[in-house]
Structure 1
Amino acid sequence: MMKLTETKNQTPFIKKPLEQLVFIPGIWVNGSSYWLQHTTEKVINDEELILRVKQEPIHSKIHFYSLYVSNHSSHTKEIKILAQHHHLNVSREHFSFASPMENRLFHFANNDIFLVNGQFDGVGIHEYTIQPFWRVYTDQIWSSLKNGSLMYQPMAKGRRQVFSR
């Protein structure tokens, strides 16, 4: 029997006080979602999966994250990578918008514009939504948790978080 443990990094992904957009990766598998809050590695014992995230140094104003998933079971699993973004200090003046034509997410805050994008094997964001903070770690962000389909909401102002899959 394999014993897996969770490694925690005491430093969240926010490294500089000037950074305003927080990134929290996650994974959907078999009707459940798991988030990597304040950690760079998570072991999902029930699924025998390990999820790791690494921030790649590209440019001082560009954040690029690589996510690695290791399957330690003998079964093939369907997984969906989740990416959560929210402002560090949220105000009523913040605005987030999901552009379906461009497959991009935009955050507007304090006269700054943040562009959020993602891809895997050349394929961009598949689904996205903007949800209130109080729904974040509940099943209310899903139109179908069983199928891993997000509830679609294209824009919001104020305390909202953006998810993409």
Structure 2
Amino acid sequence: MGRIEAFDRTMIGDGCKIAVYGMSPCGKLAKKAIELLGGKIDVFIDRLRDAEFFEGVPVMHFEEIRNIHEYRIINCASANFRSIAGFLFDQGIETVYHALSLLDLVPEDDKALEMCDARSLYRYYIENGRGGRKLKSISWQSLLRKNAPFAVNTVRNICRILPELQSTRI
């Protein structure tokens, strides 16, 4: 309590207040994952605090939070994305399109991207690197360029966790 921790499903539902450190795509994923577990975020923590609210949740500096020891502070920095994305895929969110659409990073009517299942895109990434070759009419390079900058790390991190999903449960 009161210290930054990695996302873990066991920290939800024990009656503690939840603060999430990190906004943008990882913060959105954390919110979705926490809601799927039946919890809610009480506050987002941002060192810049350039907004009053994010995803309908108040945003504060560390110093502004009273009784910080009462909070579970979930780290949503990019390095911790794997466990959050892994949980979402575990809940049946099986395509890259679906995961990215949760983050509002792709248009809803992009049917070509919707047809790219996550495992195919992962295989394509491993086999072809970041080249511009086509996969079901969407090039990897243009996919990353279209959603830059945050989607670049989002897509790469989704792809990194895919091989582990069958054997790993968070």
TM exceeding 0.5 = no
Larger relative contact order (CA 8 Å, sep ≥ 6): 2
Select the structure that is richer in strand.
1
Select the structure that is richer in helix.
2
Q: Which is higher, the Rg of structure 1 or of structure 2?
A: 2
